Amino acid sequence: MSASTYNRAAAAPPVGRVAPAPTSGRRRKKGRGVQLSAGAGTYVLLGVVIVISLFPIYWSLVGAGGTNATIAHVPPRFYPGANLFHNITRAFTLIDLRLALINSLVVATTITLSVLLTSTLAGFAFAKLRFRGRNILLAAVVATMMVPPQLGIIPLYIMMANWLHWSNTLAALIVPAAAQAFGVFFMRQYLITALPTELIEAARVDGASTLRVYWNVVLPVARPAMAVLGMLTFMAAWNDFYWPLVVMTPQNPTMQVALSALDSGYIQDYSLVLTGALISMVPILVVFAVMGRQILDGIMQGAIKA
């Protein structure tokens, strides 16, 4: 046997085994095995979006470290100044920012916890429980989302000030926002697809009550959606300005009302206003840093289920 014939025989596949098909330098995968990769254009686009999103925060830092003269300088200066801590001290001296921060934290945290509780309970009931008038009640809840909040300010203020005597108290901010139609509808839509009915039936067979089913079955399934809803609710409560301005006084403000007081001088000190805005951003950034993973997981699970 010649050397060439021996080499061809050694390279041939064994009997009964199909030789693998020749592959090119890039292996193609089909179906679920497809591995998507981002190109250079994707990274450029994402970089532009990140820069545009972070620029207002950076500009607040630049303005908070300067003065009105540096902010109005032409061309603008894009590096932080040396007056940041001096402006922070001025802001806390001119108005009671410490009380404003405490009030906003109490209000936003309490509203968030209350909305999560009521939304998951009502969303579970509308999604999986069968009771008379369910569709009518759900339609009524959704219909309240169509009413502008400004239309209810006057009767709400009369109720809080004259009937409950809650004017200038945190209860006037917390109670009206303790349950929200958006949260109920959001959790209902999520639980319809994310919570299998078989789990509820299995818990019923084991003798679990409705409250036990809610605690041991519904809450673990709803955790990703609760993270997203909690972040949205906290941001909305923290940034609320109109209703706290109506029902609270400057001596007992929330953070947004306190920021408006910084901007109410005869000569506006924009560096002081940007300092207050920078201080107001800190709790939101902390919440996102702590809950960022859960929020992203919730968004991704919702996208996959869609």
In tens, the pLDDT along 254-269 reads: 999 999 888 776 778 8
CATH number of 96-258+286-305: 1.10.3720.10
pLDDT for 261 equals 86
| 219 contacts 296 by C-beta, under 8 angstroms | no
- The region that residue 53 occupies, defined by phi over 0 for left and psi between -120 and 50 for alpha, beta otherwise, is alpha
Query: pLDDT (tens digit, 9 = 90+) per residue, 38-61?
Result: 788 889 999 999 999 999 999 999
Q: What is the pLDDT, as a whole number, of residue 300?
A: 64
- How does 86-107 read in b/e, with b if 16+ C-beta sit within 10 Å? ebbebbbeebbbeebbebbeeb
- Taking 70 as the pLDDT cut, the residues of the chain under it are 1-36, 265, 295, 297-306
Cis bond upstream, residue 75 (ω within 30): yes
Q: State residue 298's pLDDT score.
A: 63
Q: Within the chain, what is the greatest distance between any pair of CA atoms?
A: 110
Angle at 220 between CA 215 and CA 221, to 5 degrees: 115
Q: pTM for this structure?
A: 0.81
Closest CA to 247 of 182, 181, 176, 179: 176
